[in-house]
Amino acid sequence: MSRPLQFAVFGHPIAHSLSPHIHRAFAQQFGIDLAYRTIDAEPLAFADAVKHFFGEGEGRGANVTLPHKAAAFALADERTQAATRAGTANVLTRLPDGRLSAHNTDGAALVRDLTDRHDLDLRGHDALLLGAGGAARAVAWSLFEAGVQTLTIVNRSPDAADALADAIGEPSRVHTRYWEDLSNIGSFDLIVNATSAGTLGQSFTLPFTLAASRAVCYDLGYGKAAISFLAWARTAGARYVYDGLGMLVEQAADAFQLWHGKRPETEPVYQSLRTQSP
Ligand code: ATR
């Protein structure tokens, strides 16, 4: 019997990752025989673990999550535009010649979750992006290209926000403000929390004035990591409040398509995860 195609997700910690379940569910839709496992690698061991997986391990593709997304980008032999813009990669693919290609599917996944699953037309929205780290960089261009009217980037350390806005280079639509000024910058139709505060078990205080009456508030995280921001959004009176579970499933679908050339149905997988993670 031939060995199933080998896939994995790298992270640290990684034991509770939903990615194996998602990829196996997608594979079942097409009768694809694959093995998908979690690989827990400490930061210093990440590069060797990747080399081993794609070498002797005959790995075809891997997802990459915290804290390795920047390292995955750095060690790849070639990088897509989405990965280069973000400076991080959540997908590594072994090319036929053995080289590794880095891609970032997070931005496209966020926009698809907002527009397709939650039926939102982003055009004309005034958007506020909280954070300017790897996750924020991955989604900023996608929000911009999806047609938000303005994108205001606010980060605790202002230099990173300025660098991101400069990189997008559309000063008439993309600007930065100081975190200290959040109570004086009016309200927004879309507020995206791309900070890692929730994942780190930290929280921050935001003024309720930020959420316009029809505001959509979205946390890129899910589960415990999203609780604090989503609770703030509800209290602030946001009309729609979403965690990043849909984005997680969508970014997995993009990786799946890249590796298998087939587009999986995301909705049944999303709905089954949602019932387990309300
Ligand atoms: P990720 O890959 O999750 O984006 P990252 O690149 O380390 O991780 O970026 C973390 C982001 O969360 C940064 O924008 C960081 O702000 P700083 O650049 O000022 O560090 C933001 N962040 C983390 N903890 C935060 C907190 N407690 N309050 C506000 N912002 C926070």
CATH number of the domain that residue 119 is part of: 3.40.50.720
**How remote is the CA of residue 135 from the centroid of ligand 1, in Å?**
9
> Ligand 1 mean position to 41 CA, how many Å?
22
Our answer to whether residue 69 is catalytic in this structure is yes
**Pair 135, 41 in one domain:** no
Cβ of 238: how many Cβ atoms within 10 Å?
25
Neighbours of 31 (CB within 10 A): 6
| Ligand 1: residue whose CA is nearest its atom 12 | 195
- Decide: 112 and 252 in contact? Cβ < 8 Å: no
Q: Provide the pLDDT for residue 185.
A: 97
Strand partners, 64: 10
d(CA 40, CA 195): 23
Regarding whether 11 and 137 lie in a shared domain, the answer is no
Count structural domains, the chain: 2
If one residue of 69, 156, 164, 177 were mutated to test the ligand 1 pocket, choosing by the most ligand atoms within 8 A of its CB, it would be 156
Provide the residue range defining the domain that includes 27: 5-104+249-274
Which pLDDT tens digit goes with each residue over 199-227?
999 999 999 999 998 899 999 999 999 99
Nearest residue (by CA) to ligand 1, atom 9, is 133
Do 136 and 235 reside in the same domain of the chain? yes
Cβ atoms 62, 41 nearer than 8 A: no
My answer on whether 124 and 192 are in the same domain is: yes
- Nearest ligand 1 atom to the CA of 66 is 2
**Which residue's alpha carbon is at the smallest distance from atom 22 of ligand 1?**
195
pLDDT at 1: 66
Q: Are residues 37 and 94 in the same domain?
A: yes
Residues 209 and 121 in one domain: yes
CA of 136 to the centre of ligand 1 (A): 9
Ligand 1 cavity residues, CB under 6 Å = 69, 131-136, 155-157, 160, 195-197, 200, 202, 204
Tell me: do 34 and 93 sit in the same domain: yes
263 and 181, same domain (yes or no): no
Is residue 116 located within the same domain as residue 221? yes
The CA 155 to ligand 1 mean position distance, Å, reads 8
- pLDDT for 27 equals 98
pLDDT at 276: 86
Q: Which of 51, 69, 224, 262 is catalytic?
A: 69
Which regions in the chain score pLDDT beneath 70? 1, 277-278
Assess whether 118 and 220 both reside in one domain: yes
Ligand 1 centroid–CA 71 distance in Å is: 17
Q: Which atom of ligand 1 is nearest to the CA of 138?
A: 4
Smallest CA separation from ligand 1 atom 2, residue: 134
**Domain harbouring 55, CATH code:** 3.40.50.10860
Of all atoms in ligand 1, which is nearest to the CA of residue 67? 2
Task: Please tell me whether residues 185 and 62 are part of one structural domain.
Answer: no
CA–centroid distance, residue 198 to ligand 1 (Å) = 10
**Tell me, what's the pLDDT at 2?**
81
> In DSSP terms, which residues pair with 153 in a beta bridge?
129, 176
How many whole angstroms separate alpha carbon 213 and alpha carbon 237? 7
Written in H, E and C, the secondary structure of the chain is: CCCCEEEEEEECCCCCCCHHHHHHHHHHHHCCCEEEEEEECCHHHHHHHHHHHHCCCCEEEEEECCCCHHHHHHHCCEECHHHHHHCCCCEEEECCCCCEEEECCHHHHHHHHHHHHCCCCCCCCEEEEECCCHHHHHHHHHHHHCCCCEEEEEECCHHHHHHHHHHHCCCCCEEEEEHHHHHHCCCEEEEEECCCCCCCCCCCCCCHHHEEEEEEEEECCCCHHHHHHHHHHHHCCCCEEECCHHHHHHHHHHHHHHHHCCCCCCHHHHHHHHHHCC
Same domain, 238 and 135: yes
Which pLDDT tens digit goes with each residue over 249-275?
999 999 999 999 999 999 999 999 999
